[in-house]
Structure 1
Amino acid sequence: MLSVNSTEFVGEATRDPMFGLISTIFCVLFYGSAFTPMKIYDGGDGVFVQWMMSCGQMLPAFILAWKNAFPPIYPIAMLGGVAYSIANCFTVPIMTKLGMTLAPLLWNATTCLVGWAVGRFGLFGVPQMESLIPWLNTTGLVAVIVGGAICTTVKSRSSPLLRSNFTSHSKVFEQDQVENRTKSLLRSPSEDEAESGCSSTRIAATITALLLGLIYGNLLTPISALVAHSQEWNVPNTVEPYLFSHFLGAFLTSTLLFIFYGMARKNEPQINPSICLPAMLSGGLFGTGEVFFFVANHHLSQVIAFPIITSMPGLINSLWGICLFKEIQGRSNICRLGIAYLITCSGVLMITLSRFDF
């Protein structure tokens, strides 16, 4: 029978590990499917897409705020949303270069390591946390990172974009889009893989994806710090009152970024009307997953929730990429990805079990 040692966790009386595990499952499903609705639509440089996603995230944010009787705005909690919006501007271009399967796996691996380290060593105002079985937790983390490293050896190709309907008035841009799309459709998969594997843009996209993990790994840090210092700062000791502030920070930052972007483009931003609703749907899925992320992080502790939630959505993403968009082909690639799946899932199991004392 599983038992939890409450003396090893701050505020353990308010924690429910089983509820945290259920929240983790829902979070993984929502996170892993978030980018699927807009995959076949051309997102351009990603600035308009991240703005539409931030609009979609406001729906679960308002529902949650209504449930909590519209709590006050906490500026510190907004910082996580600010960081998210800045990082999210780069996700669409990176996924265009690396594909829906590989890109999330890369930044999720870095996010996993950074988020775990913040909780394990008590960085940035977050209290130091330990699992009940530290060696099992650390071993599971290593397995998750190894699984992510194996994923970097998998060659993927971006699926053809079915809708590239930009409203930019630049005829040169529109002509380039048509030419690039035609070349992409005429190019064979083997040529696609050879070119993408050797290109400098692919290397730059890989490095950027890893750097995004540094930002994503600290999205929960402001709210975790608020909960940890709730008595000292006279603020709530649960995560829900802060979530609306987090989403509001993301929305305001995305709006400002789009305004500056429109000014820099001389009022000719790259906007694909066809991606509006899919991007908002993606934002709604991501926002809902983020709510479950905060809840799971509170009930399981950061050294448990972060490795699981940042590794498993990449596997769900890759399943969409393989089954629906045919991004991964060839026996060698499939075998390597299967090995990565097995190692990652084993790591997740070890991390989960390290939360309980048998």
Structure 2
Amino acid sequence: MTAQSPVSSSGSRELVYGFLSLSLAVLLYGSYLVPMRRADPRDGNMAVVPTVEAVGLGLCVLFSGSSSLLMGWASSRFGWFGVSPEEVSRPLLNYCGAGLCLVSGVIFFFVKTNVATESADSSPLLPTNPPRVSPLPPPRGVCSGRGSSDARTGLKAVRPEIRRLIGFLLAVASGLLYGSSFVPVLYIKEHALLNGSAYHGASTHDVDYVYAQCSGVFLTSTVYFLIYCIVKRNRPHVLPSLVLPALLCGVMWTLGTFCWFLASSFLSAVVTFPILSAGYGLVAALWGSLVFKEVTGPANILVLVLASAVVLAGSLLTAVSKI
């Protein structure tokens, strides 16, 4: 028997670590919105929470994942945002994969979902009005503080067909933004090896950029929340039932991002990005259809399965074309 070379052993170990990290990232990204699914978001915060309310958990992640995959593919394939164009060994497979992802988004739009928000507590954590001597009806759109959830706020007050269209557009927009949010990391890593560049000598390890990525998300969310408070005239809907689920969502997303960056350091982003984008969408679809019963009926489920198979095939073709 011949002894296994250290190089071969090290390469096999890196593959195992890479795919293990990628699997954890898929599970965490596909599940991080689950804690918020049973909570009443009222008027929500930015795009993701209102989208879940409009089209459900499964379609929200599937829509955003498909558009995120297309943005990540286009920016790397054609060299957008200052990143050098990436050549692929099999261009035909690459374009077919991108085309399938685009087709899957169209198919997903025809999946009808049954979204119903359940909430055990809709009384605000912060008082919206000072105590009064005589009872008066609360201002329009402000929770009365008696646990009533009858008031139709946010997307609940919109007709179902319009709500669905808004949810689709929000999911696609958030996916496009998310697919381009990692371009600065790729730009810095690419220019870190160029003499005379402002980023010369910067780290080329993906994990070193996790803190910056998460800090940027935290600061941006804080700015959005301040704007929301100003728009609401210092009467934000801060419900007790949202605090722990929101924190848990953030922790799961952060761990998923760390696992993804770790997987990219072992496998490279050209392999992990398409697999992750399709994988976490399928995990979210399973949560939405099997646990929350967002998709019911044989014909509806068949369309969901078809669209999921199309996006999975597209992501795999994209990954294989780059190897």
**Could you tell me the TM-score, scaled by structure 2's length?**
0.80
Q: CA deviation at 1:316?
A: 0.8
CA contact (8 A) 1:43 1:92 kept: yes
Q: CA deviation at 1:277?
A: 0.9
In the alignment, structure 1 residue 178 sits paired with structure 2 residue 147: no
Q: Cα 1:108–1:287, aligned 2, differ >3 Å: closer, same or farther?
A: same
The counterpart of 2:30, out of the listed 27, 32, 35, is 32
Structure 2: stretches of 5+ with no match in the other structure: 1-10, 130-137
1:296 deviation in Å?
3.6
SS in 1 for 2:81: coil
Aligned twin of 1:44: 42
Aligned to 1:203: 165
The equivalent residue for 2:186 is: 224
Check whether the contact 1:24–1:293 (CA below 8 A) recurs between aligned residues.
yes
**One-letter identity of the residue aligned with 1:218:** S
Question: Which residue number in structure 2 is paired with residue 187 of structure 1?
Answer: none
SS in 2 for 1:231: coil
Q: Which of the residues 125, 131, 136 maps onto 2:93?
A: 136
Does the aligned pair in 1 maintain the 2:207–2:265 contact within 8 Å?
A: no
Q: Does 1:325 align with 2:292?
A: yes
Picking from 46, 53, 56, the partner of 1:96 is: 53
Alignment TM-score, normalising by the size of structure 1: 0.73
Aligned residue-pair number? 288
**Post-superposition offset of 1:111:** 0.9
**Deviations, residues 2-58 of structure 1 (Å, cap 9, x unaligned):** xxxxxxxxxxx9xx66644433222111100010111100122333xxxxxxxxxxx
What is the aligned partner in structure 2 of residue 123 from structure 1? 80
AA aligned to 2:149 is Q
Q: 2:280 aligns with which of 313, 337, 347?
A: 313
Kindly provide the amino acid, as one letter, of the partner of residue 177 in structure 1.
Answer: S
Matches within 5 A, 1:209-358: 209-232=171-194, 233=199, 234-356=201-323
Alpha-carbon shift at residue 301 of structure 1 (Å): 4.3
The percentage of counterpart residues that share the same residue type is 31
Q: Distance in 2 between matches of 1:319 and 1:352?
A: 23
Partners of 1:122 and 1:156 in 2: how far apart? 37
Instruction: In structure 2, give the amino acid aligned to 1:332.
Output: A
Query: Does residue 1:145 correspond to 2:102, yes or no?
Result: yes
Q: SS state of the match for residue 157, structure 1?
A: coil
Q: In 2, Cα distance between the equivalents of 1:117 and 1:101?
A: 24
Determine which structure has more spread, i.e. the larger CA radius of gyration.
2
Aligned CA-pair RMSD: 2.6
Question: Shift of residue 207 of structure 1?
Answer: 1.9
Q: Give the structure with the larger helix fraction.
A: 1
* Structure 1, unaligned runs of 5 or more: 1-12, 48-88, 185-194
SS of aligned partner of 2:77: helix
Does the C-alpha gap of structure 1 residues 45 and 297 become closer, same or farther in structure 2, counting only changes over 3 Å? farther
Cα distance between partner residues in 2 of 1:315 and 1:118? 24
C-alpha distance in structure 2 between counterparts of 1:166 and 1:256, whole Å = 25
From the superposition, tell whether residues 347 and 17 of structure 1 become closer, same or farther in structure 2 (CA, over 3 Å): farther
Cα pair distance change 1:19/1:157, threshold 3 Å: same
Write the letter of the residue equivalent to 1:27: A
Structure 1 range deviating more: 220-229 or 246-255: 246-255
Report the residue type matching 1:154 in the other structure: V
Misfit runs of 4+, over 6 Å: none
